[in-house]
Chain A
Amino acid sequence: MKVSLFIPCFMDQLYPDIAFNTVKVLQKAGCTVGYNTNQTCCGQPAYNAGFKAESRAVCEKFLSDFNDSEIIVTPSASCAGFIRNYYNEIFSSSALSWNIQRLTKKVYELSDFLVNILKVENLGASFEGLATYHDSCAGLREYGIKSEPRKLLQHVKRLQLTEMSDVETCCGFGGSFAVKFESISLAMGDQKAGNISATGARYVISTDVSCLMHIQGVIENKNIQVKSLHLADVLASGY
C-alpha cells in the first residue's frame, strides 16, 4: 500500500530519528512510503492558542500538500486528531468543505493504521526491557485509540508491559500551557513521573512526541532513571 507520511513539526525539528523509525515500521509492514518535502505543520498550535486565521492559512497549506494522497499516516495522535476533528469546522463555510470531508477520512495515526487498516499487529520487533504505555489525551479522547498501541507492543519480543496508575490522566503538556502555566504543568508532570516511576519500568512509551518531550524533561530534572520512547522507536527495534 502506498502511504503519504506526515511528520509533525515538533518531530521534524527535534526528533528526526523517530520520523525515520516511522518510515522503517511502515516499510516493514509492506507500505511504500511517500513524503512530500513541502510539508510543514497541521496548523494546530495557532488554533489552540486562539489564532484561528493564522491556523487556517497553515491548514490550507496542509490541504494542498496532501491533496493527492490516498492515505496519510502520521506518528502523532494529536495531529491526526486535530485534522479529523477540527478541519471540518475550520473550513465549514468554505468552498473547500467538500474536500475536507474526503481528506479527514484519509488521515490515520500510526498504530490505528497498522492495527485497523493493515491488520498487522506483529511487526517482528524485539526490544528488551520493562515498559509502561502512556495514553496521550489526544490519542485517548480526541482520536480514540487505547488498545491499538498496546496490541502492537504486546507482540514485541522480550518487551514486558506494565500499566501505571491514573493512566488516563493528562501528563500536563498541553502546548503553550506548558510554558504559560509552568507550575501547573510541572505539578501534573510530577505526578505522572511519579506514577511511571512507581511501576518500576525502565521505559515509557507513547504515540505523541509532545507528551514525551515534557515527560522526559520532568523525569530528567527529577533524576528518575526512565527513558521515554515513541511507539515507532520500539516497533522499529531488533530488525
Chain B
Amino acid sequence: MSSVSPSSVFNVKSNEKAKDLGHRQTINFNIGRYNAVVPNGKKQFSDLTRVRQKAKNTKWRAIETLDQQLELFEKNISARGVRVIWAENADEACAAVGEICKAKKCKSIVKSKSMVTEEIHLNEFLESMHIESIETDLGEYIQQLDGEPPYHIVTPAMHKSKEDVAALFARKLNTDPSLTPEQLTLVAREKLREKYVAAEIGVTGANFIIADTGSIAVTENEGNGRLSSAWPKTHIVITGIEKVIPSINDLSFFWPLLATYGTGQQLTVYNTIVSGPRKSDETDGPEEMIVILLDNGRTNIIADAKARESLYCIRCGACLNACPVYKNIGGHSYGTTYSGPIGSVITPNLKDKGDWKHLSYASSLCGNCTEVCAVKINLHELLLHNRHTAVEEGYSTLSEKLAWKLWKRASLSRKLMNTGSGSLKNKVVNSMFKSWSRGRSGLRFSAKTFNQLWKEKNGDE
C-alpha cells in the first residue's frame, strides 16, 4: 500500500471543501454567531490590550522557565499523592494509560474533551485494547457517533447543522429525526449517565497546569469534565507540557480571556481546579489521580527561539474563527489534530517539516489571526518563519529553488526586467501560472514597462 502524503491529502480535501457552498454557509452561520457574542464578552475588560499583553508576558515567563515550572508542579502535586508521568511521545503516553487500565482491570472510560488525547489518538489505542472510551462533551459525543475527529478545537461539531445532528442521532440511536437540539441533548445525557456509572476511569485534559499550587484546571460548559474527573475511581489527566502557568492567581485573567475569545462568555460555566485525589475526610472525588505530561515535539518548538511563542497558545480557537482559509476549507482538510492558523504554525514543528510545511504556505498572510489572538501570538509572522526554516533546512523543491534564483537575477538587473515584449511575457507567465488563469482572467503585461516608458519621456536620470 502506498501512503499518500499529507500535502496531497490537504490539496484534495481543501479543494473539495473550498467549492462546497453548503459547507461555506454552515460555517459562516456558526462563526457569525460567535462573532456576534465576542464583543459582549470583551466588555468585561476595562483595558483589553493590557490584559492580553499581561497574559502573553505570563506565558513567556512560564515557557522560558518551563523546566522549573514543571518540576515545581510535580513536587507540589505529588506531595498530595498524585503520580506524575513524563511521556516523551504519543506512544509513551498511550502505553502509560494502557498500564493503568490493566492494573485497574478497566473496561470502560469516560472522557472529557481534550485535544491532547486526539493528538495521541488515545481512543484508537483504547479500542485496540478492547476498552470502551466514551466522549462526554456533547460536541465530541456527536463526532464520536459520526466516526469523525473534531472539526474545531473548541466547538468540535461546528460544521454540523442542527438538522445534521438530528439525522445522525436518528441513524445511530434510533431517535425521532425531528427532535430539537434540547431534546437531542437530553438523549445524549441519558446515554452518558449509564456510561459514567460503569466507567472505572475518567480521562480529562487540562487547560492549565498550575505550578505554585500543584494543580490542574479544566474549563468547560457542560459539567461533563467535572464529572469525568470526580466520579470514576481513577482520574487520569493528559496534558501538553506547555500548558503551565506559574501561579493560581494567573487564572484571574486567563479564565476570562479564554471564555471571551473561545465562546464570547465572560466566564465559562464550569472551571474546575483539581489538586489531588479524594482526601480521607472528603466525601467525593477519585481514589487515585495520575497526571501524564506530554512532550510529543513541544521541546522541538522550544529549541527554536522564535517559534517558541507558539507555545503560549491557550487554545481559545479565536484564530480559527478569524481565518478566511479555515472558513473556506474547514477543520478536517488540515488532516491533523490542530487546524487553523495555530495548527499551521505548530504542526510542521511538532511533527515533520518535510511532510507538513505546506500548511505554512497555505495562507494569504492576511494577519487577521495575529490581530485576534487572545495572547497576541504573532501567528502570521510565525507562518513566515516556518517558511524560512523550511527553505533553510532544504525542504524546498529544486524547481522552487531555481525559480527564486532566476527571480533574484532578474530583480537585480533593471536591464533584464525590461527585456522581452509584453506579449511574450503574457505567454510565458500565463502558461506558467495556469492555476491563475483557470478561475481568473489572464494577466495582461504592458507592451513596455513603466521604467521604459519613463525613460522615453524623461530620459535616464
Contacts and interface: CB of A to CB of B under 8 A. Distances in A.
Given A50-B390, A50-B396, A179-B433, A141 B368 contact: yes
B161 to A, nearest CB: 20
Contacts of A30: none
Contact of B364 (A36, A38, A45, A170): A170
B377 to A, nearest CB: 15
Given A16-B450, A172-B324, A184-B362, A38 B414 contact: yes
Given A37-B461, A188-B328, A58 B408 contact: yes
Contacts of B446: 13-17
Contacts of A175: 364-365
A129 B362 CA distance: 37
A13 B324 contact: no
- Contact-residue bracket for chain A: 35 or more
B223 interface: no
B391 A52 contact: yes
Interface in A41-89: 41, 43, 45-52, 54, 57-58, 61
B50 interface: no
A184 B411 contact: no
B253 interface: no
B433, B450, B451, most chain A CB atoms within 10 A? B450
A174 B361 CA distance: 10
A179 B411 contact: no
Interface stretch (A4-12, A101-109, A229-237): A4-12
A238 interface: no
Nearest to A34: B461
B445 interface: yes
Contact of B411 (A14, A58, A189, A216): A58
A163 interface: no
B contact residues, range: 35 or more
Contacts of B370: 141
A150 to B, nearest CB: 20
Contact of A48 (B325, B387, B443): B387
A11 B450 contact: yes
Interface in B415-461: 417, 425, 433, 435-446, 448-451, 453-455, 458, 460-461
B439 A186 contact: yes
Contacts, number: 181
A98 interface: no
B405 to A, nearest CB: 7
A137 B364 contact: yes
Given A174-B366, A187-B19, A221-B441, A51 B391 contact: yes
Contacts of B442: 217
Contacts of B19: 183, 187
Interface string A196-236: 00000000000000000110111011000000000000000
A170 B327 CA distance: 12
A43 to B, nearest CB: 7
B197 interface: no
Contacts of B404: 46, 49, 51, 54
B387 A50 contact: yes
Contacts of A169: 324, 366, 368
A51 B454 CA distance: 31
Given A37-B455, A37-B460, A170-B324, A187 B24 contact: yes
B392 interface: yes
B453 A35 contact: no
B364 A174 contact: yes
Interface in A141-199: 141-142, 168-170, 172-189, 191
B435 A179 contact: yes
Given A177-B364, A188-B364, A40 B412 contact: yes
A7 B450 contact: yes
Interface string B368-381: 10110000000000
Given A183-B14, A218-B439, A41 B411 contact: yes
A97 interface: no
A191 B25 CA distance: 11
A177 B453 contact: no
A62 to B, nearest CB: 9
Nearest to A214: B440
B414 A37 contact: yes
Contacts of B53: none
A216 B441 CA distance: 8
Given A46-B407, A47-B384, A184-B362, 11 more contacts: A12-B451, A14-B443, A50-B390, A169-B324, A181-B362, A183-B14, A183-B19, A187-B19, A217-B436, A218-B440, A221-B439
7 contacts: A12-B449, A14-B444, A15-B450, A37-B414, A61-B412, A172-B324, A177-B364
